[in-house]
Amino acid sequence: MTALLPRWEHRIYLLIWVLHSLAAFVLAIYTTSELRVWLRQWLTDSDYITNWKRDASDVEWALFRTSFRGTILFFTLHSLGFHIVYKKCSKETATYALIAFWTSLHIIFASLTSICVLAAIATVTVILTVKLKSELPAWVICVGFVLTVNNYARFSVDPASYYREFNIYFYTAVQILNFCIYLHRHSHYDVSKHVLLRFVQYLLYPPYTMTLIVLFEDFDQQITKREHNPSADIEFSTLAKKLGRLLFWAAFLDALHHVLYVNALFSSPFTLIYGLNSYKLASLAYVAGQLFHVKYVVLFGIPSWFALLDGMDPPGPPICISRVSKYSQMWRHFDRGLYEFLKNQVYIPLMKNQTGAALIARRLFAMVSAFLFVLAWHGTSSNYISWVSLSALELCIERVGKAIARTESFTRISIAIGPQNITRLQSVAMLATVIPGIFGVFFFLGSEGIGSTIFQSVLIDGFKEIFTLHFRLGEAGQVLMHLLILGYAFNATCLYFEDSKRKTKVH
| Digit-coded pLDDT (tens) for 170-203 | 999 999 999 999 999 988 888 899 999 999 999 9
pLDDT in tens, 2-17: 567 888 999 999 999 9
In a domain, 248, yes or no: no
For residue 436, the model assigns a pLDDT of 92
**Are 34 and 180 part of one and the same domain?**
no
For residue 505, the model assigns a pLDDT of 62
**Are 210 and 285 part of one and the same domain?**
no
In a domain, 176, yes or no: yes
For residue 236, the model assigns a pLDDT of 84
In a domain, 252, yes or no: no
| pLDDT above 80: residue 385 | yes
**Are 114 and 215 part of one and the same domain?**
yes
Distance of CA 41 to the CA centre of its chain: 28
Mean predicted confidence (pLDDT) in 268-280: 90
Please give the Cα distance from 285 to 21 (Å, whole number): 12
Buried b (16+ CB within 10 A) or exposed e, 403-426: eeeeeeeeeeeeeeeeeeebbbeb
pLDDT band at 426 (very low <50, low <70, confident <90, very high): very high
**Are 105 and 221 part of one and the same domain?**
yes
- Structural domains of the chain, count: 2
For 83-87, the CB contacts below 8 A with 24+ separation are: 83/310, 86/226, 86/227, 86/230, 87/230, 87/231
**Are 110 and 14 part of one and the same domain?**
no
pLDDT in tens, 294-315: 999 999 999 999 999 999 999 9
For residue 2, the model assigns a pLDDT of 59
* φ and ψ at residue 276, rounded to 5 degrees: -75, 150
In a domain, 98, yes or no: yes
**Are 276 and 360 part of one and the same domain?**
yes
Mean pLDDT (the chain) is 91
Mean predicted confidence (pLDDT) in 355-367: 81
Mean predicted confidence (pLDDT) in 422-451: 92
**Are 159 and 279 part of one and the same domain?**
no
pLDDT band at 379 (very low <50, low <70, confident <90, very high): confident
**Are 453 and 329 part of one and the same domain?**
yes
**Are 285 and 366 part of one and the same domain?**
yes
pLDDT band at 504 (very low <50, low <70, confident <90, very high): low
For residue 470, the model assigns a pLDDT of 83
In a domain, 378, yes or no: yes
| DSSP per position, 222-279 | HHHHHHT-SS----HHHHHHHHHHHHHHHHHHHHHTTT--HHHHHHS-GGGTTTS-HH
In a domain, 369, yes or no: yes
In a domain, 239, yes or no: no
Output the CA–CA distances (angstroms, integers) from residue 261 to 27, 49, 249, 267, 359, in the order listed. 12, 16, 17, 10, 47
pTM: 0.92
In a domain, 234, yes or no: no
**Are 374 and 422 part of one and the same domain?**
yes
**Are 366 and 472 part of one and the same domain?**
yes
| DSSP per position, 271-307 | GGTTTS-HHHHHHHHHHHHHHHHHHHHHHHHHHHHHH
- Residue-range definition of the domain harbouring residue 157: 59-227
Secondary structure letter of residue 110 according to DSSP: T
For the chain, helix, strand, coil in percent to 5 are: 80, 0, 20
For residue 355, the model assigns a pLDDT of 67
**Are 288 and 180 part of one and the same domain?**
no
